[in-house]
């Protein structure tokens, strides 16, 4: 019985994010390009004033200022910036990449699967040039391994740069850019959970 329990727990821990090591030997010709409007931007035409028949002026609010579930999850995730990496962790004492997402979504009443690989199977794949705030990015960071083992949450898209928050073994919870060579090379796919 103990052996079975030990084997089961070992499998669970092995399925989690795993170790993310930065390796700079990658092909120079692989590149992910992003184009499109940044999510959450407000056009100047969306903000203004409206004159009422009685002469009063009402100031209109920004149309995109309503907080979406994606905004709330991103805001929560950003509060963990600087938290150290801890394999299997889901608290401010330490967290791994899927633990960061699991906790950030759960704090906004959205339950998620716990591992990167399970998360990658949840939603339909979207083109990288269509990603927006709140989308998930998946990576393969282990040389010679075919399965997804790392995940990040898109926090901003500006022109051709996608920024995402994730937990790395070397620096803990940080915001990175998909334009960085290592992450660009390791990128596998994007999905939209909202």
Residue 146's CATH number: 3.90.1720.10
In a domain, 91, yes or no: yes
> What is residue 183's predicted lDDT score, i.e. its pLDDT?
96
> Does the annotation count 185 as an active-site position?
no
163-183 average pLDDT score: 97
In a domain, 127, yes or no: yes
pLDDT of residue 77 exceeding 80, the answer is: yes
- Summarised one tens digit per residue, pLDDT across range 103-157 is 999 999 999 999 999 999 999 999 999 999 999 999 999 887 779 999 999 999 9
The 10 Å Cβ neighbour count of residue 137 is 25
Active-site annotation holder among 11, 17, 33, 150: 150
> Does the annotation count 33 as an active-site position?
no
> What is residue 33's predicted lDDT score, i.e. its pLDDT?
53
- Summarised one tens digit per residue, pLDDT across range 122-132 is 999 999 999 99
Domain count along the chain: 1
- For residues 157 and 131, give the distance between their C-alpha atoms in angstroms, rounded to a whole number: 8
% the chain with pLDDT above 70? 66
List of long-range contacts for 7-13, beta carbons under 8 Å, 24+ apart: 13/87, 13/88
In a domain, 26, yes or no: no
Structure token pair of residue 148: 């997804």
Active-site annotation holder among 11, 17, 33, 97: 97
> What is residue 119's predicted lDDT score, i.e. its pLDDT?
95
In a domain, 14, yes or no: no
Domain of 103, in residue numbers: 36-191
In a domain, 94, yes or no: yes
DSSP 142-170: STT--S--EEEEEEEEETTEEEEEEEETT
> How would residue 159 be classed by pLDDT, with cut points 50, 70 and 90?
confident
In a domain, 18, yes or no: no
Active-site annotation holder among 11, 17, 33, 166: 166
In a domain, 63, yes or no: yes
> Does the annotation count 150 as an active-site position?
yes
% the chain with pLDDT above 90? 61
Cβ neighbours of residue 30 closer than 8 Å, sequence gap 6 or more: 184, 185
pLDDT of residue 35 exceeding 70, the answer is: no
């Amino acid at each position: 019985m103990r052996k079975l329990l030990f084997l089961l727990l070992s499998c669970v821990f092995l399925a989690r994010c795993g170790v993310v090591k930065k390796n700079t030997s990658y092909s120079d010709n692989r590149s992910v390009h992003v184009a499109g409007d940044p999510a959450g931007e407000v056009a100047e035409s969306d903000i203004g004033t409206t004159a009422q028949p009685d002469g009063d002026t009402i100031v209109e609010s920004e149309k995109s200022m309503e907080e979406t579930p994606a905004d709330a999850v991103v805001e929560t995730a950003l509060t963990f910036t600087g938290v150290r990496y801890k394999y299997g962790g889901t608290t401010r004492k330490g967290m791994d990449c899927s633990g960061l997402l699991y906790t950030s979504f759960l704090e906004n009443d959205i339950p998620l699967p716990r591992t990167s690989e399970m998360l990658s199977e949840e939603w339909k794949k979207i083109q990288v040039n269509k990603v927006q705030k709140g989308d998930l990015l998946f990576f393969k960071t282990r040389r010679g391994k075919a399965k997804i083992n790392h995940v990040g949450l898109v926090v901003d898209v500006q022109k051709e740069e996608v920024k995402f928050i994730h937990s790395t073994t070397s620096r803990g919870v940080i915001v990175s850019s998909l334009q960085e060579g290592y992450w660009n090379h390791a990128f596998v796919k994007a999905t939209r959970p909202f």
